[in-house]
Structure 1
Amino acid sequence: MTLEQLRVFATVADLLHMTRAAQRLHMTQSAVSASVAALEATCGVPLFHRVGRRIELTAAGRAFLPEARAILDRVTVAETVLADVSGLRRGRLRLHASQTIANYWLGPLLHRFHALYPEIALEVAIGNSTQVTAAVTEGEADLGFVEGAVDALLLAKIAVPGDRLVMVVARDHPFGHGQVRAQYILDVPFVLREEGSGTRQVFEEGLAAHGIDPALLKVALKLPSNEAVISAVAAGAGATVISELAAAAGLAAGALRQIPLTFPQRRFYVLRHADRYQSKAEQALLALVRGGAKPGA
């Protein structure tokens, strides 16, 4: 049994698909299949059912998976400790970030980090706030960056200055040009991000603070990215409430018009697992964050 076989097994178990596992591991499908077969031969039991073109974990596979993950987690920690010995001259950081942060806030911060520590490899994945929180909790990310406050007991949360939400419509939308009361938004259709998005979470919390039930909104479209939301709004699909960072280009170009409805400043949060080893690379990036990374700097 080798570490490489454990990595292949865990990846196949996560995806339950040989081809997608091969793509994630940058291996051929035949090499992935051979690695799984060799591990099964070593264990003496099948780890997967082959059901037509699908695969499923056997009972032995389900029992073995958490043990394999635990070994791989310990290897990652060991690699990180050894990287620290080299004094930030080698290593990697796995980062997951919500869309608004990844697209409009994180880039300048990572540029500064890379200039200071060019030998530290940075791996960035993008998801919504719920997905980012899960990645940090499960050890798939060293640090996570989210827009909304999260309720996860195992995670340490560091608040940093964030952005402000703005309400926008298409430039020729008939919705009010003067002062708009919060209750008026129940009269217009909305284009919103999906559930689990930090932007949507903060918007709905703001509505509740005004005594408005978010369930009463007329949601015309629910889309999985800021860019898709803005494109639909600019085409006249309805109104949205979105990060001022995401709306800035559309407002500057005249494709969008901002509705004068005020939302409070919101914070961004950096997440790390409180029980996991904190590498020098993590400490260095957090020092930059605490030093004042400004949105869009």
Structure 2
Amino acid sequence: MLSHPHEVFLEVARQLSFTKAAHTLFLSQSAVSKQVKALEEHYKTGLFERLGNSIQLTPAGELLYQKLLVARQLQHELHQEFTALSPDFSPQVRMVIGASTTISLYVIPPVLSAYLGQYPHTQLTLKNRNSENILKALLEHEIDLGIIEGIHKVSNVTYTPLLTDEVVAVCSGRNPLHRQELTAQDLRRIPVALREAGSGTLAVLEEALAAKGIRLADLPVKVRLGGTEALKNFVRVDTCLAFLPRQSVMKELAAGELVEVPVHGLNLVRHFDFVQRKGTENNMPYKSFVQFARRHYSKTE
């Protein structure tokens, strides 16, 4: 099994940062440095090259990193097979997952609860950012699995569908706007509140408007807010129209605090996808988590 110093080295090598690795591992930076130094003394060579405020792997460090990735995968496979043979065998497993705001708040919590109920020895960390920043964290090796929504696909990432959701136009239940049926062109004259740049919800709206020959710049944007909850709380007390995931406003719609405003001909369907760097799709335990989450939502549909 991988030793603690090797696990620490793997995290530093993955993030190319002692500070970020210390944060992820819940260790002090000095403790992380001590473990890496012990490995360098063991192998009689440097594993990282310090370049000002950044680091990079030396040839020896890169060799060790690649071999340890293979060893970790074999270790996860061995743990899974032994768990099937011996129910009393319960090794500690650590996962760091990133998810966009809507998914973190409304989609993934029931999956995490069910998964941890079945695999109680999993130490799971969920990072909540907008879709663009989750993809950035994935490409920078800060996370190994992300769940994002409605942004353009990039070539070095694998996308695995989780579920489909709808973005709806809503306003306050006290706003007379909800008694109107709008067209996409009407949005040029109605004040709107939008999510921040990089939001998957915003990307879906932008794409749907472009199909109607409308740019975001053509809309009378009153405010941009970072996060679904902030936008939802704002539109509840304002006269703006807002576009929010149906998943995020189901309670407010049922209570009458928010009202859906039909916008004729505007198709605002978006997909929630798992994202992984190409070549890592079979890495455990992330592969089993993806399969578990997809089964969970296939049962609820």
Give the equivalent residue in structure 2 for 1:26: 26
The separation in 2 between residues aligned to 1:10 and 1:276, in whole angstroms, is: 16
Q: Counterpart of 1:141?
A: 143
1:243 aligns with 2:245: yes
Q: Which residue of structure 2 lines up, in the alignment, with residue 229 of structure 1?
A: 231
CA distance in 2, matches of 1:183, 1:48: 54
1:284 and 2:288 equivalent? yes
1:167-207 CA deviation, whole Å, 9 max, x = no partner? 01122224251211111112122221111111110011111
Give the direction of change, closer, same or farther, for the CA distance of 1:82–1:34 in structure 2 (3 Å limit).
closer
Structure-2-length-normalised TM-score:
0.77
Give the aligned partner of residue 110 of structure 1. Answer: 112
- SS of the residue aligned with 1:165? strand
The alpha-carbon deviation at position 77 of structure 1 amounts to 4.5
**Alignment equivalent of 1:256, drawn from 255, 258, 282:** 258
Q: How does 1:56-205 map to 2 (within 5 A)?
A: 56-57=53-54, 61=55, 63-64=56-57, 71-72=64-65, 74-87=67-80, 89=83, 90=91, 91-175=93-177, 177-205=179-207
Per-residue deviation, residues 121-152 of structure 1 (Å, max 9, x unmatched): 32211111112222223333232111114322
Q: Deviations over 1:266-289 (max 9, x none)?
A: 221111222126234333223234
Q: Determine which of 45, 50, 61 is the counterpart of 1:47.
A: 50
CA contact (8 A) 1:135 1:141 kept: yes
TM-score normalised by L of structure 1: 0.78
Structure 2 gaps, min length 5: 84-90
Provide the rounded CA distance (Å) in 2 between the counterparts of 1:185 and 1:209.
14
Structure 1's unaligned 5+ residue stretches are 50-55
**RMSD between aligned residues:** 3.6
Q: Which amino acid aligns with 2:171?
A: V
Q: 1:123 to 1:29 in 2, by over 3 A?
A: closer
* Equivalent residues of 1:189, 1:217 under 8 A apart: yes
Provide the C-alpha distance between the structure 2 equivalents of 1:36 and 1:271, rounded to a whole number of angstroms.
30
Question: What is the rounded CA distance, in whole Å, between the counterparts of 1:200 and 1:11 in structure 2?
Answer: 31
Q: Is the 8 A contact 1:40 1:47 kept in 2?
A: no
Q: Shift of the alpha carbon at 1:228?
A: 0.5
Conserved? CA contact 2:157–2:276, under 8 Å: yes
Alpha-carbon separation, structure 1, partners of 2:119 and 2:39: 38
Instruction: Mark the CA change 1:158 to 1:130 in structure 2 (over 3 Å): closer, same or farther.
Output: same
Work out the CA distance in 1 between the residues paired with 2:35 and 2:284: 34
Cα distance in 2, alignment partners of residues 79 and 8 from structure 1:
12
Q: Which is worse superposed, 88-97 or 120-129?
A: 88-97
Q: Secondary structure at the match of 2:197?
A: coil
Partner residue, 1:52: none
Cα distance between partner residues in 2 of 1:27 and 1:108 = 29
Query: Does structure 1 conserve the Cα–Cα contact (< 8 Å) formed by 2:201 and 2:244?
Result: yes
| Counterparts of 1:23 and 1:210, CA distance in 2 | 45
Q: Which amino acid aligns with 1:94?
A: V
SS at 1:163 equivalent: strand
Q: How far apart in 2 are the matches of 1:12 and 1:95?
A: 14
Q: Which residue pairs with 1:266 in the alignment?
A: 270
Counterparts in 2 of 1:75 and 1:223: CA distance versus 1, 3 Å: farther
Q: Distance in 2 between matches of 1:265 and 1:294?
A: 18
Distance across 2 between alignment mates of 1:40 and 1:269: 39
Alpha-carbon separation, structure 2, partners of 1:38 and 1:160 = 42
CA contact (8 A) 1:101 1:146 kept: yes
